[in-house]
Amino acid sequence: MNKTHVWLRAETKPDEQRTALSPSGVKELIEFGFKVTVEDSTQNIFERKLYSDTNAEMVPQGSWVNAPSDAIILGLKELPEDDFPLTHQHIYFAHAYKKQNGWRSLLSRFKTGGGKLYDLEYLVDERKRRVAAFGYWAGFAGAALAVLAWANQKNKVAPPLKDVGGYQDKQELLFEIQRALANLADKPNLLVIGAKGRSGSGAVDLAKALSLEVLEWDLAETQKGGPFPEINQQDIFVNCVLVNQNLPPFITKELLEDQNRKLSVIVDVSCDPYGSYNPLPIYEQCTTFKTPCLRLAHENLLDLIAIDHLPSLLPKESSEDYGQQLLTHLLTLNDKSQGVWPTALELFKNRTKGL
């Protein structure tokens, strides 16, 4: 019987250092009898030697297009843009099922080539909860950038953040924040809404790692409905709530005009400014690592951070955590009639009907 073959492709999205499978995950798959191929990568946070030491097959970047037909191509972010038919089974975040830009072209390539897509976003358990997510590190990274921006505001750095890149690990990030806070008489306090969720717990842990005061809000505290004037009394507001229905906004432009506002940094970890469900209707587009802050007020300073790939700030920890969550399910790939795979395949078939 042939071994189940997992092929880890190199990421090509600019500045994306994360990976769906760390060297320790590759080692475990091999120990469980899988064949694993790993592409060389100029972006992966993990060095090539860490993968080659696992006895995985090492191949050039991008060679997945010529992989054996039974290889399961594992990635994280989008495939490089092209038009050739997709013949393999693929596991990655395709960003196609909500009719995002280029969705029809991508799914048509699968339909034409006879390939299959198991979208990472839709690998869910019996409660329809995603089995692997980057949420914790999104919250941790978002809160970290917010504290760093607050400190730079106080240190008269303008803009407070620019050209942010990935850190080798969280200790390097924490050290930079501590250095920025070192000469300040005061330290910021934070309000985290959605504190009991994945990203919320990450934001809270960042505050505690820096010994900062943090107010933790969740369903009980927000049940009365917004807007919440209490947000203005904190230095930093971190939104970690992914809203899927129309709710009163947490904060409004009018509320932010309060002359007694203490708030000077907002980070929207959930980052969905394009839909009607946005609980922060104070901005219209995401920010970026190159330009992380959108200045909402110039006199009584107020900056907004809304980056939609925050875990990339800590590619090592976020990859290790995500890969470990995913590994449990990758180990069942030798029988895709069980676990998360049938539901994901059925969704793919439904989304490609009529193409």
Active site residues: 77, 95
Cα-based distances in Å from 209 to 48, 137, 267, 329? 31, 14, 18, 31
Contact 190, 213 (CB under 8 A): yes
Distance CA 130, CA 150 (A): 33
Cis peptide before 159 (omega within 30 of 0): yes
Distance CA 201, CA 280 (A): 20
Distance CA 279, CA 331 (A): 38
For helices 198-209 and 135-154, what crossing angle results, to 10°? 40
Residue count of the chain: 355
Alpha-carbon dihedral 347, 126, 221, 136, rounded to 10 degrees: -70
Contact 71, 5 (CB under 8 A): yes
Q: Which residues are paired to 6 by β-bridges?
A: 36, 72
Helix ranges (H only) for 32-134 are 48-52, 103-113
Distance CA 1, CA 245 (A): 49
Distance CA 93, CA 103 (A): 12
Residues 6+ apart with CB under 8 A from 66: none
Q: Comparing C-alpha atoms, which of 295, 324, 321, 292 is closest to residue 309?
A: 292
Cα-based distances in Å from 157 to 108, 116, 142, 151, 162? 49, 49, 19, 9, 10
Location of structure tokens 């089995």? 131
Distance CA 107, CA 128 (A): 23
